[in-house]
Structure 1
Amino acid sequence: MPDHTDATPTNRINRRSLLAASAGVAAALGAAGLPVLATGSPALAHPKDKDKDKDKGKGKLRVEPLIPEKNRGIILYSVRDRITAAPDDSGVPYGFERVLARLAEIGYKEIEFAGYTQHTSILGRQITPREIRKILDDNGLVANGTHASIQAATFQQQLDIAEELGMKNIGTGSDPTNSAYKADWDAAADLWNELGRQARARGMRLYTHNHDVAYSFLLDSGPLDAQGRPTRSSGVRRLEYFFGKTDPKYVFFEFDIYWGYVARYKHQKYVDPAGREVTDLFDPILNVADRTTRFPLFHAKDGDRDTSVPNGHQMAPLGEGDINFQQFFQTIGERDFHHANWEMDTAPGGTANQGQSLDLAALSYRNMSDLTIYLKK
């Protein structure tokens, strides 16, 4: 089987991603009493330093991975083109058995699912969750979550599949509601608290995944519209309201870091109850750091700043964009608790480059592995 890992540039993590923390974020972290990285020193351990002690004046230090090897994962949406591909003679892996074997070879230890189907021509029928579990086990992989449809009527069935696959987390890629109004978020919180209880009873955590709109502002005050709904905001963001309405024992979150920075770019202003426009920048780091153990999972998705597009960013392989993952993961702490799943929605290369998504998975894994931290011996 050809190795496609060298088909794309393999430069190591971009130093601007790691060192260029904004002064505004640093000031906010300091004001909150949270650690701020020193941006004037290397954020990566050089290979020559990895086998010897470092003395920074505070005792000897050891270099360890910022994201532990066992917690490095991938959501299969990033390689969906190869999971769903029919058998071909390209030499690029296809279907669960071949793709999961390749991901394990790259180094990934955890898998987040984005569906449980492959091309039926591979087996002459659809693969079963039990068969997928055997593939995971055979390759030393662990299922750490899924983007499923979370609905009361089918939730027990989803839990059955998750249990078969050995998951400790079950979730969705959709917001609990798309509404801008408190009443709908209140109803969603009631449902999620109940479903979270059901998940916990079976040894799992229920989680929801954000896009940028989840961090837009609620309409919760001011004059009412023709339907009796508020038209202005108190400045509370939708998902931040949901944090407070859900029980932390039952409802958890997967933070998509890329979409968090898109939210910072797109959702900066609201009209307050008095009709004044207010600017309030969203801080992705503080969003997590204030409640870090409610976030077992992350989408480690990178992006380049590009104000010519509506989102203000273009997706990029991990470590090749502008997002400072070093500062993010070091500041939020609890590194053994957090699991990072690489995602890049635009990774598939289509018929022109059938191996692209797996190439980028390899590049992104290497860059994720390069994130390091100095700890006292």
Structure 2
Amino acid sequence: MSAYEEEIEIGGALRRRLGLNRRQFLAATTGITAAAAVTAVGGPASAVRAATGPNGVLIPPPRRGIILYTVRDAISRDPNSTPLPSGFRRVFEELGRIGYQQVEFAGYGQHANSEGGASLESVAGARVLRGWLDDNGLRAQGNHGFIPGSWPFTQPDLDRFKQHLEIANILGMDHMGTGNDPTGSAYKADWDKAAEKWNALGAIASDAGIKLYTHNHDVAYSFLLDSGPLDALGRPTRSSGIRRLEYFLTISDPKVVYLEMDIFWAHVAQYKHRTYTAPDGSVQTDVFDPLSVVRPNTKRFPLFHAKDGKSNTATGNGYDMVPFGTGDIDYAAFFRGVGAKGSHNPMYEQDNAPGGTADPARSLQYAALSYTNMAALRG
């Protein structure tokens, strides 16, 4: 048995010794209380240290999450063709066994042969999913789901958006969002329109008791074209030095529009988007600091994608995606610096976790390794 598999077994053994089911165990044992219980039955010192580090754990147990996109291969594979966990219900069981307490959805589809059928994107499907989440001590915290593309909205788009809010409430989510940037444009006018749309959507979501969030890729932290000579279509060709998503923060309503920083892509932006052409034509250098965006707006970043990267300057992005805790991004420094400790929800993500037919168990193995590293992260 590997080290991380041994860690996974600790919780199950403890629950059996205490005579508790998983929900009772999770309600009774968090933080230092969990560490004391592990000590009482002779659990390994590493588990105690993770819960009672000298400066406290940086990601408390109830906040340790995973976006299901990371294990999409397991959710989508045919349960009749493999003994590995397949479909939402069995994957939830495995994630709960590992120790995760939060998930972020990436849609509601699974293999047609899985329990519940191919799609659970409905009110009835949400009730089924909620039961499986509850059974395994998991809480849904968000979803990369449907956001209307049009502005002003078409009625069918608006109706579908409201249905997703209803699904979110059934699942118990505090947040609902998307995996895309507010707009892919570089131009200020398009970001102004995007803010209008998101302010309107955010107000609708707020009325439903949900915080609406958008998600970044690296290009969202490139520089806004907002000044200088105009091109043939009347668009600006130079920048005042403000980054696109930083501008969006200033023009969107902080009461109803929230953000999920993908920390990996923010570091890619730090590597890639370092210069801009100023209004006077000079080339200026400005190295991006992800914390400088989060720190003054910390309550607007309720979720993070905790995606790790190993430095590789031979690639265009400057990093290769790797399991959490095995890369070069300084997550201890990041989570020490974000402020509002204990209020953020980091979701482990790794786009390349699925191993395909050559290594079909890999994404869940990476999920276990990443959970162990997330639990060990201390200030």
Q: If the length of structure 1 is used for normalisation, what is the TM-score? A: 0.83
Shift in Å, 1:372:
1.7
Given the superposition, is the C-alpha separation of residues 117 and 331 from structure 1 closer, same or farther in structure 2, using an over 3 Å criterion? same
Which whole-Å CA distance do the structure 1 matches of 2:3 and 2:352 have between them? 17
Which whole-Å CA distance do the structure 1 matches of 2:3 and 2:51 have between them? 34
User: Which amino acid letter does the alignment assign opposite residue 240 of structure 2?
Assistant: S
1:103 aligns with 2:123: no
Higher relative contact order (CA 8 A, sep 6+): 1
Given the superposition, is the C-alpha separation of residues 206 and 218 from structure 1 closer, same or farther in structure 2, using an over 3 Å criterion? same
Equivalent residues of 1:4, 1:359 under 8 A apart: no
Of residues 295, 307, 312 in structure 1, which corresponds to 2:313? 307
Of residues 63, 66, 69 in structure 1, which corresponds to 2:61? 69
Residue of structure 2 equivalent to 1:135: 132
Which whole-Å CA distance do the structure 1 matches of 2:128 and 2:174 have between them? 19
Residue of structure 1 equivalent to 2:241: 235
Equivalent residues of 2:187, 2:226 under 8 A apart: yes
Equivalent residues of 2:50, 2:57 under 8 A apart: no
1:223 aligns with 2:220: no
1:113 aligns with 2:110: no
Which whole-Å CA distance do the structure 1 matches of 2:307 and 2:216 have between them? 12
Of residues 139, 143, 161 in structure 2, which corresponds to 1:146? 143
Shift in Å, 1:259:
0.3
Which whole-Å CA distance do the structure 1 matches of 2:132 and 2:332 have between them? 33
Map residues 142-221 of structure 1 onto 2, 5 A cutoff: 142-151=139-148, 152=153, 153=157, 154-221=160-227
Shift in Å, 1:246:
0.6
Shift in Å, 1:316:
0.7
Shift in Å, 1:203:
1.0
Residue of structure 2 equivalent to 1:259: 265
**Greater share of helix residues, 1 or 2?**
2
Equivalent residues of 1:262, 1:311 under 8 A apart: yes
Equivalent residues of 1:189, 1:242 under 8 A apart: yes
User: Which amino acid letter does the alignment assign opposite residue 227 of structure 1?
Assistant: L
Residue of structure 2 equivalent to 1:296: 302
Given the superposition, is the C-alpha separation of residues 50 and 114 from structure 1 closer, same or farther in structure 2, using an over 3 Å criterion? closer
Q: Per the alignment, in what secondary structure is the counterpart of residue 173 of structure 2? A: coil
Structure 1 stretches lacking a partner, 5+ long = 8-45, 54-60
Shift in Å, 1:89:
5.0
Q: Per the alignment, in what secondary structure is the counterpart of residue 199 of structure 2? A: helix
CA RMSD of aligned residues (A): 2.3
Which whole-Å CA distance do the structure 2 matches of 1:319 and 1:122 have between them? 32
Which whole-Å CA distance do the structure 2 matches of 1:131 and 1:124 have between them? 8
Structure 2 stretches lacking a partner, 5+ long = 7-44
Which whole-Å CA distance do the structure 2 matches of 1:170 and 1:219 have between them? 29
Which whole-Å CA distance do the structure 1 matches of 2:80 and 2:229 have between them? 60
Residue of structure 2 equivalent to 1:17: none
User: Which amino acid letter does the alignment assign opposite residue 260 of structure 1?
Assistant: A
Given the superposition, is the C-alpha separation of residues 104 and 155 from structure 1 closer, same or farther in structure 2, using an over 3 Å criterion? same
